[in-house]
Structure 1
Amino acid sequence: MWRAASAKNCQRGFTGFCTIVNPGFAGGAYGYVAMGPWRGGQAEYLQVPHADFNCLPLPAGDVFESDFAMLADIFPTGYHGAELAQVSPGESVAVFGCGPVGLMAAYSCVIRGAAAVYAIDHVQERLDKASEIGAIAINFDDGDPVAQIREMRGGDGVDKTIDAVGYQAAAQGSSAAGGEQEEVPNVVLNQMIDVINPTGIMGIPGLYVPSDPGGVDEGAKRGSLSINFGRLFEKGLRLGTGQCNVKRYNAYLRDLIAAGKATPSFVVSHEVSLDDAVDAYDKFDKRIDGYTKVILNP
């Protein structure tokens, strides 16, 4: 009965919250946060657990190979952010974070017909990628992103917001003595509350964890963050959270790619061999040499 009850999540399309394959940790199948029971797929060959359910058929040929590679994670996750925020045609959206998922979230908002998409980050190569798809780049090193957006909009805020950063967020002026920016895990959530218009919807695909031993304070170590809930309530805001249910989206996104309506591979900056993966990961982690997204070719 336990297994049958737990399987309801997957049966209802909530594959991101499966509790069968890794009991006690919703969604922890392939390595989400707690590193699940199976190793990753970056190898010459791999086995796919529950392949009858998990595999996605693709059209023959390699024309869209790089685009289809984005279906494994970041394109569905970015789209999930837009879905959580219920982005509709003609709306304005602020996307916090221009890493791979943030860029896909901004791109998904464009695909869904948003009239204005503001992409917030401080890594110039990422902001340049956002500009390529028609988003309005906001560098938070130039000042408070909320103030920048409101100035551009004549004092108005935005209809929807998306957090593609999560608990490892940093803010303007948060650099430590060594030059690296310190974590300010609640900064994006509060900026979203500040910049969104009343009755707006906040989508939060960015990762937050129930415990973080390296947290900046005792609350953060327990997964507790300080946000302006009074302001959130006053504005009548709604929010959607949680990791992506990839199977809910990837077949539809595959068809968008095959129809020439989506090209998520724009985010790819480098294609390297598996032998060069360690160096590529290091550069991506340090956000240097333009490493925005890397494809590994075994």
Structure 2
Amino acid sequence: MKAVVYDGPKSVSVKEVPDARIERPTDALVRITTTNICGSDLHMYDGRTDMQPGRVLGHENLGEVIEVGDGVDLVKVGDIVCLPFNVACGFCENCNKGLTAFCLVANPAPEIAGAAYGYADMGPYNGGQAELLRVPWADFNCLVLPPDARDLQRQRDYVMLADIFPTGWHATQLACVQPGDSVAIYGAGPVGLMAALSATIKGAGKVMVVDRHPDRLRLAEQIGAIPIDDSKGSPVDQIKQLTGGMGADRGCECVGYQAHDPQGQEHSGLTLNNLVQSVKFGGTLGVVGVFTPQDPGGPDPLQKQGKVPFDYGMFWFKGQTMGTGQCNVKNYNRQLMNLIAAGKAKPSFIVSHELQLDEAPQGYENFDRRVEGWTKVLLHPDGRR
């Protein structure tokens, strides 16, 4: 099969690799029709993880089931399914608690909980930027979609259920967003925009989104959020001006450890510390931007160890509460699917490009460089656009 393979920093290619196949009775085999390039993929693309060359990338996946193992009872051949980026067993202690991002079984590495498709340190599972994908524990991991998901245009929305829509929703859950709240969101990439959409759906009174890329800020404004350009002045000051001087009720960090200032200098704690400053005393923070325990490509010794300079004194002084971590996608994907099916949510507003699989290297390069207009890239391994 054809697949997008990680070759090393700043290099991916489309190669012929062994076909994915059923390996255990509880597996399903999915023919991928729509898969996305995620901002998290760029951490590997930039050489900021210990991703092994030769691995197949891709953790935002949707397609048609073409084969199931003898132990699969619920998922049927012909179903159109979206796969959570979390690979989870469904029966361990953490999965029973809904903590599928921290499954105790799926990752064979000692002292690591949680697994994902095509991602560094997240288990041995190949990704779905490929023609075929093996799905372990298929009855648990497959979200069977409504009949309209056969339409490629509808897949633009449903594929967002694999990661970024639930992750944006998770940010607002961690931040405890309630109707009428003011919400400050750092980052207008795909996850930040999904957090803005989620806060809006939840009835937030004021949603403010910080970024400096005009195309992303336009998308934030398109869904009713207030765009804040941090290249034109302190985002903290701008947020306080919009919130009576005290700051937002809630805050979401959707950037992570590769945050840059407007001059292009990287500061791993920049958005995290700005968020503390931007949220009021007693406010709540949801942090879903990626922070890693190791950062081999970090610009300084502290970052190489995965450590972040954090203004804990101000965080403590303001009595804030923070929730962090990867999204447990299955906690949210069914209810968000129902919102899409009912026409109440259209997360595909962020999609800028749809490419065939062979065009993936171009998609990675332009998305990584933040080229104007490249806001979200979808790949179609079946050749359709």
Counting only pairs closer than 5 Å after superposition, residues 82-231 of structure 1 correspond to structure 2 as: 82-173=172-263, 181-231=264-314
In structure 1, the partner of 2:14 is none
* TM-score normalised to structure 2 length: 0.72
1:29 aligns with 2:116: yes
Aligned position for 1:18: 103
- The one-letter code sitting in structure 1 at the alignment partner of 2:178 is S
- The one-letter code matched in structure 2 to 1:276 is E
Q: CA–CA distance in 1 between the matches of 2:105 and 2:116?
A: 8
Partner of 1:176: none
Distance in 2 between residues matched to 1:26 and 1:136, nearest whole Å: 37
Structure-1 residue corresponding to 2:128 = 41
Question: In 2, Cα distance between the equivalents of 1:126 and 1:33?
Answer: 27
Contact 2:171 2:288 in 1 (8 A): yes
Deviations 1:31-80 (A, max 9, x none): 44425301110112222111111000111122622110100111011111
Question: How far apart are residue 293 of structure 1 and its match?
Answer: 0.5
Q: Which residue of 1 aligns with 2:348?
A: 265
**In 2, Cα distance between the equivalents of 1:285 and 1:128?**
19
Check the 8 A contact 1:18/1:29 in 2, yes or no.
Answer: no
Aligned-partner Cα distance in 2 for 1:197–1:203 = 14
Kindly indicate which of the two structures has a greater share of residues assigned to strand: 2
Checking the alignment, whether the CA contact within 8 Å between 1:160 and 1:201 is kept in structure 2 is yes
* Cα distance in 2, alignment partners of residues 35 and 11 from structure 1: 20
Tell me the distance in 1 between the aligned counterparts of 2:373 and 2:309: 34
CA contact (8 A) 2:190 2:376 kept: yes
Question: Do residues 51 (structure 1) and 141 (structure 2) align?
Answer: no
The percent of aligned pairs where both chains have the same amino acid is: 51
Q: Unmatched 5+ residue regions in structure 1?
A: 174-180
Instruction: Give the letter aligned to residue 304 of structure 2.
Output: K
Which residue of 145, 153, 157 corresponds with 1:67? 157
Alpha-carbon contact 2:295-2:303 (below 8 Å) kept: yes
Q: Which whole-Å CA distance do the structure 1 matches of 2:329 and 2:120 have between them?
A: 16
Aligned residues: 287
Runs of 4+ in 1 over 6 A off after TM superposition: none
CA RMSD of aligned residues (A): 1.5
> Matched residues in 2 for 1:96 and 1:103: separation?
10
Q: Is the 8 A contact 2:118 2:127 kept in 1?
A: yes
Per the normalisation by structure 1, the TM-score is 0.92
State the AA in 1 paired with 2:349: F
1:221 aligned partner, one-letter code = K
Name the CA distance, whole Å, in 1 between partners of 2:180 and 2:194: 18
How far, CA to CA, are the matches of 2:359 and 2:219 in structure 1? 23
Measure how far apart 1:281 and its partner are.
1.3
Instruction: Read off the aligned partner of 1:14 and give its amino acid letter.
Output: L
Kept in 2: contact 1:64–1:257 (CA 8 A): no
Separation of aligned partners in 1, 2:200 and 2:120: 29
Partner of 1:178: none
Q: Tell whether the 8 Å contact from 1:64 to 1:258 is kept in structure 2 after alignment.
A: no
1:294 is matched with: 377
